[in-house]
Amino acid sequence: MSDRSSIEWTEATWNPVTGCTQVSPGCAHCYAKTFAERFRGVPGHPYEHGFDLQLRPDRLEQPLLWKRSRVIFVNSMSDLFHEDVPLTYIRRVFDVMERAQQHTFQVLTKRADRAAALSCELTWPTNVWMGVSVENQRWATRVDALRRVPAAVRFLSCEPLLGSLTLDLTGIDWVIAGGESGHGARPMRLEWARAVRDQCELAAVPFFFKQWGAHDATGRRVGKKAAGRELEGRVWDEFPRAQIRTRTAS
């Protein structure tokens, strides 16, 4: 299975854990679950057990084999801070990230409270970024939890953006926003995306607009490719000011 990623804000994925369970509205049309469940029951396939949570210790040292620097999304097919992932295993993941100093690791969770609670039990190397998903105002409380995590870079993923957001960006270094794609995708309104961008500009926080998703800025379902990535006439590809190991290495 290729480690290369088509996700616009990263370069590669690393999945020492796979599988998850839904915790909030942003999970409703999870692309990872849809993908994994296609292979449930297929003998020998990595997702033979569908989207059931599984630790994958055989994958732990994979980033150490990648000599050239990469920006790596950790657990694109799971959540490292899922309640069924033991602290001892999370520490093993962090140990690999600390040893792989040539890479930049992006950890994203919806379990912000657990991440904050365990943060004092972990070592946070400067090449590890920590983010939380915030799909609507109800889940903006995750930002407060994120501020308690001593990561070098803290970021928000407002994707799928399902409602208007008023954000306190104190201590936040980067914001990603985007709409939903795939079957049953819910439209993102222009004013929601614009408001997130405007708050980032006001707070001098880099803003990355990932995609419109299945619907365009008018709410018409046109497909991800046709909807594109422009927000009010431009592509927003801003990254944190902290040094990324590289954005050009292959």
Q: Rounded distance, CA 22 to CA 110, Å?
A: 9
Q: Is the dihedral of CA 149, 173, 235, 245 positive or negative?
A: negative
Residues 6+ apart with CB under 8 A from 79: 17, 20, 85, 108, 109, 110, 111
Confidence of residue 250 (pLDDT cuts 50, 70, 90): very low
Q: In whole angstroms, what is the distance from residue 7 CA to residue 102 CA?
A: 20
For residues 133 and 155, the answer to whether their CB atoms sit within 8 Å is no
Among 165, 167, 164, 162, residue whose Cα is nearest residue 215 = 162
pLDDT of residue 244: 56
The predicted pLDDT at position 246 comes to 44
The C-alpha atoms of residue 99 and residue 12 are separated, in whole angstroms, by 17
pTM: 0.94
Task: Please write the tens of the pLDDT for every residue from 1-19.
Answer: 448 888 999 999 999 999 9
Question: pLDDT digits over 181-218, tens only?
Answer: 988 999 999 999 999 999 999 999 999 999 999 999 99
